[in-house]
Structure 1
Amino acid sequence: MTDTTGPGRSWLLRLVIAFAFAQGAVSMARPAVSYRALALGADERAIGVITGVYALLPLFAAVPLGRRTDHGRCAPLLPLGVVLIAGGCALSGRADTLTAMAAWSGVMGLGHLCFVIGAQSIVARQSAPAEQDRNFGHFTIGASLGQLIGPIAAGYLISERDGAMGRTSALALMVSAAVAAVSFASLWRIEHRTAPARRGRTPSAKVPVGSILRARGVPAGIFISLAVLSATDILTAYLPVVGEHRGIAPATVGLLLSLRAAATIACRLVMTPMLRMLGRAGLLASTCLLAGLLCAAIALPVPVPVLALMLAVLGFCLGAGQPLSMTTVVQAAPAAARSTALALRLTGNRLGQVATPAAAGLVAGVAGTAAPFVMLGALLIVAAGLGARGRDGRAPRRSGVPEPDPAVPEVGPARAGLNRNPT
């Protein structure tokens, strides 16, 4: 059923590489946008608005893109996403007003959404049920690699000496556009045509969005993903602001953000043994709870070495939420609507990316730049409660027989491959 063990087993590695470059471009551009906005005179509230606009266009596009992917190919969304990411980065670097920066930030966000919906749908479609936790974990390593390298590169390029922040942040945005374009090299033949016999058949009826959202596990998976992504997003956007207030250099802030990403990679590399020990529900609950406490603690004016240690542990805890929420949503959703379910999860993410930065900007304007991290801590603690109530998805021990997919009904052998791998 799965292509990860067949002749085309390199698809996952090439998808991880492409995602690493696309995410690296975004992770370089996001702090560069914040620094360029600061150079143009933005305050904390304006930074919150610009960060929120990044998610505004994707908020309305996610479900239609997911519907299209459920009834067609996933791969075309990947190059489209790369073009929009590169264009948004380059045009943000040339923008000279906060309004223009917000608009091109939205284009960048739309490109990221297209790429992620296409890539996640490929992983869901080409992975056996028993391999989904592992393959989604490996897939998100690409994101973590990008989040590791991007902030370091941004911190290296951006300088505030002699009033050069505006010029150097623009340079970082142009470089991020070039980094995004490199991902084209890994996008060839990344999606397998697993069911050519289905061409010409009458497409199945659309599963109503309400039915998807009522499936057990889908709402919890969406909220957990929202909370974890919001934490990562606010860290990326607001740690530069915190660093500016505490006298931490941009290069040091870039290293701190990359340390967080490196710890996230470490988490995903050891996810399978952790799942065997704790199960999916236990791992989600424990990591979200600890991440919530650490997020709130960032509000404390601790020395840089202590902050680095906190961010390392926080990054490790945040590493579990995204891939496990993907598996939770995919396995809970109807088989004919998995891409739509993933799109709804991404809609929740983008809703969080609109609302959370706006709320963070408001809180920061009233209570100081560290206050948004307390808000994120509370959000993650709620996610921990939802994770504890979920189904226990312990990773199966290798027995040679994959676990049945709970979203797929029992069918005869002649149709099993088509139902397990819908196009």
Structure 2
Amino acid sequence: MTDPAPGQGRSLRHAFVWLIATMICVHACMAVTRVTASLWVLDRGYGEASVGLLLSLFAVAPIALSLWAGRLADRHGFHRPVGVGVLLASAGTLLALGVQQLWAIAIGCLFCGGAVAVAAVALQREAGLMAEEPGELKRIFSWMALGPAMSNALAPIIAGLLIDYVSMRAAFGFAASLPLLAWALAQKVPRHAPAVYSKSFREPAAWHLFRLPAFRRLILVNLVLSAGWDAHSFVVPVVGHSRGLSAASIGLVLGCFAAAATLVRLTIVRFADNIDEVKALRSAMLLATLTFIAYAWLPGTAGLMCGSALLGVALGSVQPMIMAMLHRVTPAERHGQALGLRMLTVNSATVAMPAGFGLLAAATALTAPMWLMASLLLLAQWPARGLRSDGSD
């Protein structure tokens, strides 16, 4: 479908809150499943490498579905991709709920990862349509980024409490209820008429976006920063379990990361017009590097909470910057393809990263993935230097 006509973005804005609410529910389903599955595996004695392999499954389905999801969003808009995501999430969580075996948990993780990928592309594209001018993109994507941040802040805590005081099955049951709520909220977003397909939709042209130097740099930086999220998601349950922390404490540490990401994104919304995107991006990368280096020596639950909060500030601040620049460097009629291609590349790395983190932790030290990420972030400063805040090459 085409972008809305001038003024149509303004007519869509009244539904922005429903867009964010839908994002929260879809992402929270994955977040609850991720935490619960990780602790289920550790509780059954499968070990750290198994946790890494299980977390990798969240990125397998997006590799196959992301480009298709981008084309689907460009052609049909918002509701159809979200519906596909809801079906995938429901199937995955109900399977994990009904069959408490490793193979069922693994398939549930696979389906939930695919659900978020398909729905997120449509949600991000729809949010971009609501901007009346380029300067609004950063503010809009700051608000959109609050969805995953809020779900990551609340979901691990709720999951931990349900596991500690009820059961693992109760946590999976909570995850299964969220896709249905997401679909109900998505119906509040207005439908707008699809347009005629163009030839570009019928060709594998998404890869041609890599011919744009700014797009290549953004994707490379995004890959490294996304790996930082994976490293944190892997290390916290593993380190917490090795130190004898309860599920609620581990959820609290993960929640501190997400709460900090939420706060920094609210700050970006307030001061978006005064923020230089490239300087903010590089500063966040430096803060994340220093925190990753120091994470191994943080004492107790309080220390891990502080380290997670610092990482939340650093890594939580970058997505609005990257998404705003991504929309400026790609043609408007190919935003869905660009978002799908970003999703594909990020998840391709995410498949390998958690499994690699698990093997690295098992072979060396539990916090070795953090030191690896510090090295990668230092190297990523080089492509980040070539970015421009106006999105030009």
User: Higher mean Cα deviation, 106-115 or 176-185?
Assistant: 176-185
Alignment of 1:275-290 (within 5 A): 275-290=272-287
Structure-1 residue corresponding to 2:303: 306
* CA shift in 2, pair 1:380/1:204, >3 Å: same
Alpha-carbon distance in 1 for matches of 2:273, 2:197: 41
Aligned partners of 1:329 and 1:345 also within 8 Å:
no
AA at the equivalent of 1:23? H
**In 1, distance between residues paired with 2:288 and 2:191?**
37
1:298-377 to structure 2, matched below 5 A, reads 298-377=295-374
Matches within 5 A, 1:14-413: 14-128=18-132, 129-159=134-164, 168-193=167-192, 196=193, 199=195, 201=196, 203-206=198-201, 208-272=205-269, 275-393=272-390
Secondary structure of 1:61's match? helix
Counterpart residue type for residue 242 of structure 1: V
The list of structure 1 runs, each at least 4 consecutive aligned residues, that deviate by more than 4 angstroms after superposition, is 272-278
After superposing the two structures, state which structure 1 stretch, 263-272 or 372-381, moved more: 372-381
What secondary structure, in the 3-state scheme, does the structure 2 residue paired with 1:142 have? helix
Work out the CA distance in 2 between the residues paired with 1:334 and 1:9.
22
User: Aligned in 2, Cα 1:249/1:3: closer, same or farther, shift over 3 Å?
Assistant: farther
Inter-CA distance 156–41: structure 2 relative to 1 (3 Å threshold):
same
Aligned-partner residue type, residue 153 of structure 1: I
Structure with greater Cα Rg: 1
Query: Structure 1 residue 172: deviation in Å?
Result: 0.7
Counterpart of 1:10? 14
Cα distance in 2, alignment partners of residues 19 and 92 from structure 1: 22
User: Is contact 1:216–1:332 with CA below 8 Å preserved after alignment?
Assistant: no
Secondary structure in 2 aligned to 1:10? helix
Counting matched residue pairs gives 385
How far has the Cα of 1:94 moved from its partner?
A: 3.2
Amino acid in structure 2 at the alignment position of 1:151: P
The separation in 2 between residues aligned to 1:91 and 1:239, in whole angstroms, is 26
Consecutive unaligned residues of structure 2, counting only runs of 5 or more, are: 1-5
Summarize the Cα distance change of 1:95–1:296 in structure 2 as closer, same or farther, 3 Å threshold. farther
CA 1:384/1:268 → structure 2, altered by over 3 Å: closer, same or farther?
Answer: farther
Deviation at residue 189 of structure 1 after TM alignment: 4.5
Q: Give the drift of 1:179.
A: 2.6
Deviation track 1:338-396 (CA, whole Å, cap 9, x = no partner) reads: 11011011112211210111110110111122111212222333334433321024xxx
> Deviation of residue 277 (structure 1)?
4.3
- Hey, what's the Cα distance between the residues in 2 that align with 1:84 and 1:307? 34
Tell me how far 1:255 sits from its aligned partner: 1.0
TM (normalized to structure 2)?
0.91
Structure 1 or 2: more helix by fraction: 2
Give the Cα–Cα distance (whole angstroms) in 1 for the partners of residues 274 and 375 of structure 2. Answer: 26
Answer whether contact 2:234 2:357 (CA < 8 A) is retained: no
CA distance in 2, matches of 1:191, 1:359: 43
Q: Is the 8 A contact 1:221 1:326 kept in 2?
A: no
For residue 420 of structure 1, what is the aligned residue in structure 2? none
Encode CA deviations 1:182-241: one digit per residue, 9 max, x unaligned: 222211152442xx5x74x46243472332012132122222322233222332343111
Amino acid at match of 2:139: R
Pairwise CA distance, 1:102:
1.7
Structure 1 stretches lacking a partner, 5+ long: 162-166, 394-404, 408-423
* 1:75 and 1:122 in contact (8 A); partners too: no
TM-score normalised by structure 1 residue count: 0.85
The alpha-carbon deviation at position 299 of structure 1 amounts to: 2.3
- TM superposition shift of 1:41: 2.8
Contact in 1 for aligned 2:160/2:247 (Cα 8 Å): yes
The answer as to whether partners of 2:289 and 2:373 remain within 8 angstroms in 1 is yes
- Please give the alpha-carbon distance, in whole angstroms, between the structure 1 residues aligned to 2:70 and 2:197: 19
